Amino acid sequence: MRVRTRASLAAGFLGLAAMLGAGVDDGVRVSAPVTKAGITCRVQGVNATTALNLDTGMEGKRVRRAEAQHTISVQLTLEGEAVFIATQGEILTLLDQREHDVLTPQQVAEMPPEQARQALEEALRSGLQRDRSQRTYVNAHRYLERFPATIMKLTGSVPVMMAHTLTRAVIKPVVSAEAVEIAPGVTFLLTLAEQRDGQWAIGYEVRTRRGLKGITPGREPVFGGLLVRDAGGQIRQHLYYGQQVETRDEYILVVKEVGVADEYMRSGTLEACVFVGLEELNFDFEIANMPLATGDK
């Protein structure tokens, strides 16, 4: 049995402008919104809870053991025109009223490089069809050794991966024997373009060089996919599913055959997209002098 016994929300999710970044004595203090490279990160709310796990007898009448689990989470939003990825924030310290850090130790498993690269590609591609400003909600969560009466100081960070440039190249539906460079270190080769039964069969190969000078391994350009646009410029298809191969020198994507409607090929365009200039940013945040209301809920 799991019972929530205590909870606290920070001043209506910290929505009052007077509280944000204010230096009022004896009042809750929250770091002001931070903007980097056109991306703004702001604290939206804090939630602290205690859940009580009850171990009861066979008939469920007598509690043999009660175990409390304390948690703290900070809700943040990130917004900007740039294409960026932010999946989870980090709470680094939480000092209670006695200035003791009450965070429990945690083990962070590192993602294998090839898995991290794949996750990066998938996340960037998902933002290709976004025409307006991106807004992402992020949560930073930690377990606590005990429930503090007051958060004297909480610090944290949100890691964000962004792409400085999205390079677009129009691809003519003509098979070629030679690949063309559509971004530094990225080549595109159209291997199939045939009209069949009212639609077109398209195939292509993309190679991305690894070990490019001045680029951190894993942050090489990312091929976002081949977009099919209609006569009005609207995206109708996003082609990127294929066989991926990673060698010592290259990331290779091979799409053998995919169907595209004839009307789009006749009046629309094929557009190859590449994310260039990947950079990791860190947005720090801080909360101080916050009492946590407790009581039965």
Tell me the pLDDT of the chain (297 aa) as tens digits.
444 444 433 333 333 333 333 333 458 999 999 999 999 999 999 999 988 777 766 666 666 676 788 999 999 999 998 888 888 899 999 999 999 999 999 877 777 877 888 888 888 888 776 656 788 999 999 999 999 999 999 999 999 999 989 999 999 999 988 999 999 999 999 999 999 888 999 999 999 999 888 888 889 999 999 999 999 989 999 999 899 999 999 999 999 999 999 989 888 999 999 999 999 999 999 999 999 865 444
Looking at residue 59, its pLDDT comes to 61
- Distance, in Å, from the CA atom of 135 to the CA atom of 256, rounded to the nearest integer, reads 35
- Distance, in Å, from the CA atom of 60 to the CA atom of 142, rounded to the nearest integer, reads 31
- Distance, in Å, from the CA atom of 165 to the CA atom of 160, rounded to the nearest integer, reads 15
- Distance, in Å, from the CA atom of 244 to the CA atom of 256, rounded to the nearest integer, reads 11
CB atoms within 10 A of CB 95: 18
Entry pTM: 0.77
Tokens 């969560």 belong to which residue? Answer: 141
Looking at residue 11, its pLDDT comes to 33
Q: How far is CA 246 from CA 113, 172, 183, 193, 249, in A?
A: 11, 27, 19, 26, 8
What residues does 272 pair with on adjacent strands?
Answer: 169, 226
CA distance from start to end of the chain: 16
Looking at residue 44, its pLDDT comes to 94
Here the contacts of 245-254 (C-beta below 8 Å, separation 24 or greater) are 246/114, 246/117, 247/210, 248/210, 249/209, 249/210, 249/211, 250/207, 250/208, 250/209, 250/210, 251/117, 251/207, 251/208, 251/210, 251/220, 252/205, 252/206, 252/207, 252/208, 253/205, 253/206, 253/223, 254/205
